Amino acid sequence: MARQQLGALDVAFLCLERETTPMHFGALLVFGAPPSGEVRSVATLLGERAGRLAALRQRAQPTWCPPGGAVWTEAPDFRIENHLAVHHLKHSDELAAVVAEAMARPLEPAHPLWHLDVIGLADGRFAVLATLHHAVCDGPGAVELGLGLFDGFTAPVRPSASCSGDRPSLRTAARSASAALTHPARWIDGATKIAHLGKRIYESAGIVSAVLGGMRLPDPGSPLVGTHSARRGVAMSRLSLSRFQHVRALHGGTINDVILALVTGALREWLKRRNRTLHGRTVRALVPVNRRQSPSSASGRNQLSGYLCELPVGEPDPLQRLHEIRSMMNSSKAAGPCRGPGAFPVVAEHLPRVVHRIVTPVIARGAPLLCDLVVSNVPLPAITLAVQGAELHEVYPFVPLAPGHIIGIAACSYGDAMCVGVNTDPQVMADLADFADSLPQELDKLARHT
């Protein structure tokens, strides 16, 4: 079976891995009580299902073709027990500590890059904490992969790709042009590939120009940017999706616009508690964008881009904040996911893998020059999901922290729940619980605003 190459963006995520910046994301899934009453039986079932998913049996193995690249290959020593743990909690407040420890603990690169913690909760329910390296897939890809763990779903089959199956490179285009000289029938194909390469170079140059032009020095002493430790702290906030829909019906925009408005209001309150000057101030958020519907999307498992959105924390009126965010996001969407400074993942997927190995760890240190935090939103399918007959109730996602960022925020809608997961360095953001408590308060402000 042909081995699948890691895309250039996949390799970039591997290159970002450091002790203080582990590049895995997480999802805490909360279920009802298992019919069997035994959490260990749930863990056994999940282990069996995970073992049938090809992507979860594979590790990243470096290769010489292309230079600096890697392929997904079956781990010869794969054992499910190395990726599975069972916990029994006596108190509900212990759950956040388990999640924080998992988000701080790097995954072992010599093995498949994932882990499942099955957690028995004090009230009889159970939770599953899944951690998965960003090189394995992005958020939408994780949803697709994770469905194989639920009742009634079979393991998805992913197409394999060999080294020659990558997107056209400079060398590939040159070979196509040479072949066209001796085989006239290939003129059209060769010209098409060269034109495609030219388009990619043009796109990349435009994005690079936008990225460089959009860089700015963080505010001196900003509490949102700084050197963080290897420790992590997390908070979870469950909101009503119906409430979001009510706000959208009142004021327009999208659910994602409302999420960004809540984050803006919570950041405003957090900065006020630190006596920060807010007048005219903005906080720049990177909002990831799924490119799977794009005909020119990446060949790797990460197929994303991003928009940069200036969150108007200096604006005191909640409704005006929402209107400004809506306007900025509409402008970004009109330009498309391959335009603007937030589209730097598109450039990353065009770079040779060996370049990522050399320069990405260095360039990553400049992340605060581009944005202050990541705010992600990955909805689940509008279907009922269950494991061993126990229905899924809530899903709290967590994004990794880039170098220099002290907070990352992710949201996931399922059923009538909009669940928000906050990941941070507790040494910098000791009042994380207050920040999470601000989110429902900000939602109430918008719901009451007419």
Average pLDDT, the chain: 86
Query: Is 428 in a helix, a strand, or coil?
Result: coil
Q: How confident is the model at residue 318 (pLDDT cuts 50, 70, 90)?
A: very high
Question: SS3 of 258, please?
Answer: helix
Could you tell me whether strands 386-387 and 417-424 are parallel, antiparallel, or unpaired per DSSP bridges? unpaired
Judge whether residue 36 has pLDDT over 90.
Answer: no
pLDDT, position 158 = 42
More confident residue, 169 or 2: 2
**Residue 183: per-residue pLDDT:** 53
* ∠ Cα 247 251 257 (to 5°): 70
Q: What is the pLDDT of residues 326-379, one digit of tens each?
A: 999 999 999 988 888 888 888 888 889 999 999 998 888 888 889 999 999 998
φ, ψ at 422 (rounded to 5°): -115, 130
pLDDT of 280: 80
Distance CA 124, CA 190 (A): 63
Q: What is the pLDDT of residue 307?
A: 96
| Contact by Cβ (8 Å): 114, 145 | no
**pLDDT at residue number 293:** 66
How far is it, in rounded angstroms, from Cα 180 to Cα 183?
5
Q: What percentage of the chain carries pLDDT values higher than 70?
A: 85
Angle CA 254–423–221, to nearest 5 = 95
Among residues 351, 380, 382, which one has the least CA distance to residue 11? 351
Question: What radius of gyration do the chain's Cα atoms show?
Answer: 22
Taking 60 as the threshold, does the pLDDT of residue 403 lie above it?
Answer: yes
Q: What percent of the chain has pLDDT over 90?
A: 65
Q: What DSSP line would sit under 129-196, residue for residue?
A: EEEEETTT--HHHHHHHHGGGSTT--PPPPPP--GGGSPP-HHHHHHHHHHHHH-GGGHHHHHHHHHH
> At residue 294, does pLDDT exceed 80?
no
Residues written for the chain? 450
Q: List pLDDT tens digits, range 199-219.
A: 555 556 767 777 777 777 777
* Phi, psi for residue 388 in degrees, rounded to 5: 50, 40
Q: Residues 271-290: what's their mean pLDDT? A: 89
For 226, which DSSP code? S
Residue 172: what pLDDT? 42
Interatomic CA distance for residues 305 and 48, integer angstroms: 34
CB 37 within 8 A of CB 27: no
pTM (predicted TM-score): 0.88
Which distant-in-sequence residues (6+ apart) come within 8 Å of 147 by Cβ?
153, 156, 381, 385
User: Could you give the domains of the chain?
Assistant: 4-156 (3.30.559.10), 196-377+401-448 (3.30.559.30)
Query: Is the bond into 66 cis (omega within 30 degrees of 0)?
Result: yes
Residues 6+ apart with CB under 8 A from 157: 54
Longest dimension (CA), the chain: 74
Q: What is the rounded distance in angstroms from the CA atom of residue 345 to the CA atom of residue 139?
A: 14
CA atoms lying within 13 Å on the CB side of residue 272? 14
